[in-house]
Amino acid sequence: MNFKIHDKLIHEVESPEGLLYRMIIIYTCFMTAFIAILFLVIGDTTKINFYFFINSCTVTVMVWFIRKSFNILSRDIHLLAFRVSLFFLLNSALASMAGGLNLIDRDTASVIAALLYVPAMLVIIYSFNKFIDYVNHNYKSAVSLSLTDELTGLPNRRHLNVKLRELESRAGTICIADIDHFKKINDTYGHEAGDKVLRNMGLRLSSFVKDEIFISRSGGEEFAIIIFDNTNAEDVIRNIKTSVSDGCNGSIGVTLSIGVAIKQKEDSSSAAITSADNALYRAKSAGRDCIMYGQRYRS
């Protein structure tokens, strides 16, 4: 269900929604006026009681609810059912109003109001449950989109920051991998080819993702890898580098420079990231296409 708010919708006379909304308003005004005039002509004005004002308020509230429902831009059948149920409740209130003014027998009015009220409430409950499902589904989708890099399909920098907070009190390995000479790839083959390389990288790297291995695109041609609890960290890093260099980009040769930092429980994630960054810089200075470890790892 698409519940996008559109404030102008009910003001557009030419739209079907705008026409239907106006028909409901006209119907409500006509029925309310009809009941009021009929009461003034044949009724006893001394019998106006508290219930008349309650029903009047109920009718006003139902019209307001219907109006707000027409601010929802959706073609979904559940929204239509919700509007129909509101219309039933409106007529239930009108029947109660007529009964309260003794224009029709009160017992008859009560039966009519109940026959309209019960199915209306059942449909509202059903529509509300569907709306909850819609909200939950779209909330999960929105969260997923906000944490995913659009080009590679890998987690993005925001998701990486979440994982770094999770790593704060744990031991693990942090790697920063950078595609060698990526600017040259863009300059030689074009940016579309560069994007294709990044997409292929995303596909290749995603095959290594597990519960204890997190891989994200941290920016540009740079990727961050977190291996929780140092589970076979060295083997995983070597396999990643070998896999990417195995010609997954057709005629474009791709290699990785990787900086690695081992984080102990007492180390901060930011310090480990800095160590991995420094190791990556040394890997670049050493000629690229290699793996360098932070000093803490060697001590």
Our CA dihedral for 101, 103, 107, 108, rounded to 10 degrees, sits at -140
CA 114 to chain CA centroid, Å, is 39
SS3 assignment, position 166: helix
Q: Which residues are catalytic?
A: 221
Task: Measure Cα distances from 76 to 4, 57, 80, 85, 135 in Å.
Answer: 12, 30, 7, 15, 14
Neighbours of 130 (CB within 10 A): 17
Beta pairing partners, 5: 72
Q: Which residues contact 11 (CB under 8 A, 6 or more apart)?
A: 18
Q: How far apart are CA 181 and CA 162, in angstroms?
A: 29
